[in-house]
């Protein structure tokens, strides 16, 4: 009997690792309205940010990426630190949810926008209402339902036949490991690619070289930390893998045209 119980316990313990919670915390849920003709600049908070367009059209430009337009029924995903210029082409209404989900892939240039489905607006309205009422269980249930519907759409964007697929795998790896400096040779070994293939795949997926893409990722993360954390500039530099804070400040100023200190004291808004 004891031996049976022992084997049962061992078998049970093998399943204890289970599944990590995909969403640790919902930071906020909002419904926004913007007037046509208005332009704004904002920064996505750390973590994941998801928008759903209810009405109107908007032209978006995220630092380091090509501009694109969105309209009713579309979802837009942002990663922490994304600096976004928005031009509202008409009166614009959208829902927004900010959340922390370390187990989920970050939104990247090649899987930012997705088309919704019937009932998507109502689902987001239920999420906003549950969050506003403090019903954590209902809010998390609605968000998980959304992410479950969007998951296959994101997977399709990096399907085996798509251009730049290998770089998308590389960037997903960088996001998961929070690597902001990476050696090209190490990446080639990790993904069994030649340098020429790595360059070609990165250009096909992002339009820029691997070095430029990694710089954009570092600078976007720096923006998120400067605007949305209480770390000092030296700590941020260390978080991003810089050996000296002067090196970080110099690269930041070259990229954005102002120092990290000036950026921190600036007036750019967070994206709700």
Confidence (pLDDT) at 13: 56
Whether the per-residue pLDDT at 123 is higher than 90: the answer is: yes
Domains defined for the chain, CATH in brackets:
25-156 (2.60.120.280), 165-270 (1.10.10.60)
Name beta bridge partners: 79: 48
- Tell me the average pLDDT across 1-10: 54
Beta bridge partners of 265: none
Query: For residue 43, what pLDDT band results from cuts at 50, 70 and 90?
Result: confident
Helices (H), 50-164: 120-132, 136-156
pTM: 0.68
Q: Which residue in 240, 255, 244 sits closest to 64, CA to CA? A: 255
Q: Identify the weakest region by mean pLDDT among 97-111, 112-126, 196-210, 245-259.
A: 97-111
Query: Quick one: pLDDT at residue 63?
Result: 73
**Contact of 204 with 164, CB cutoff 8 Å:** yes
For 210-229, the pLDDT digits (tens) are 888 888 888 888 888 888 78
pLDDT of amino acid 86: 95
* Spatial separation of the C-alpha atoms in residues 222 and 228, rounded to whole Å: 10
Return the closest-CA partner of residue 96 out of 117, 80, 111, 77: 77
What's the confidence (pLDDT) of residue 155?
Answer: 64
The reported pLDDT for the residue numbered 40 is 92
Measured over the CA atoms of residue 42, residue 47, residue 53 and residue 54, the dihedral's sign is negative
What is the average pLDDT value for the chain, to the nearest integer? 85
Residue 17 has pLDDT above 70, yes or no: no
What pLDDT shows up at residue 181? 87
**pLDDT in the model for residue 65:** 78
User: Rounded CA gap, 145 and 10, in Å?
Assistant: 33
Question: Packing angle between helix 195-206 and helix 184-191, nearest 10 degrees?
Answer: 90
Query: Among the residues of the chain, which ranges form H helices?
Result: 2-13, 120-132, 136-156, 165-177, 184-191, 195-206, 210-228, 233-239, 245-256, 260-264
In the prediction, which pLDDT does 3 show? 55
Question: pLDDT tens, 67-108?
Answer: 899 999 999 999 877 889 999 999 999 999 999 887 777 777
Residue partners of 121: CB distance under 8 A and separation at least 6: 52, 54, 95
In this prediction, residues 50-60 reach a mean pLDDT of: 96
**pLDDT in the model for residue 225:** 85
Place of tokens 């204890």: 16
| Per-residue pLDDT, 174 | 87
Q: With a cut of 70, say whether residue 142 has pLDDT above it.
A: yes
Residue 123 dihedral angles phi and psi, to the nearest 5°: -65, -45
How far apart are alpha carbons 247 and 229 in whole angstroms?
20
Q: Tell me the C-alpha distance between 225 and 218, whole Å.
A: 11
pLDDT of residue 158: 52
What confidence tier does 128 reach under pLDDT thresholds 50, 70, 90?
very high
CA distances from 257 to 66, 205, 250, 253, 260 (A): 20, 27, 10, 5, 10
């Amino acid at each position: 009997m004891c031996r049976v119980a022992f084997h049962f316990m061992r078998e049970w313990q093998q399943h204890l690792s289970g599944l990590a919670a995909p969403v640790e915390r919902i930071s906020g849920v909002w419904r926004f309205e913007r007037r046509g003709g208005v332009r704004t600049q904002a920064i996505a908070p750390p973590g994941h940010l998801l928008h759903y367009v209810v009405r109107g059209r908007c032209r978006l430009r995220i630092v380091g990426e090509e501009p694109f337009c969105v309209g009713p029924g579309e979802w837009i995903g942002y990663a922490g630190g994304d600096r976004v210029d928005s031009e509202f082409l008409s009166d614009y209404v959208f829902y927004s949810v900010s959340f922390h989900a370390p187990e989920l892939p970050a939104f990247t240039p090649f899987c930012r926008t997705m088309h919704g489905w019937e009932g998507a607006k109502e689902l987001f309205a239920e999420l906003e209402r549950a969050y506003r009422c403090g019903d954590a269980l209902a809010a998390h249930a609605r968000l998980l339902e959304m992410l479950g519907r969007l998951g296959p759409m994101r997977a399709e964007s990096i399907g085996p036949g798509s251009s730049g697929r290998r770089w998308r795998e590389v960037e997903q790896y960088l996001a998961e490991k929070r690597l902001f400096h990476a050696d090209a040779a190490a990446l080639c070994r990790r993904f069994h690619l030649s340098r020429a293939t790595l360059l070609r795949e990165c250009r096909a997926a992002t339009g820029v070289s691997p070095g430029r893409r990694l710089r954009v990722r570092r600078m976007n993360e720096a923006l998120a930390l400067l605007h949305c954390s209480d770390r000092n500039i030296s700590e941020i530099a260390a978080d991003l893998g810089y050996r000296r804070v002067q090196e970080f400040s110099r690269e930041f100023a070259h990229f954005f045209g102002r120092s990290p200190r000036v950026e921190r004291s600036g007036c750019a808004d967070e994206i709700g």
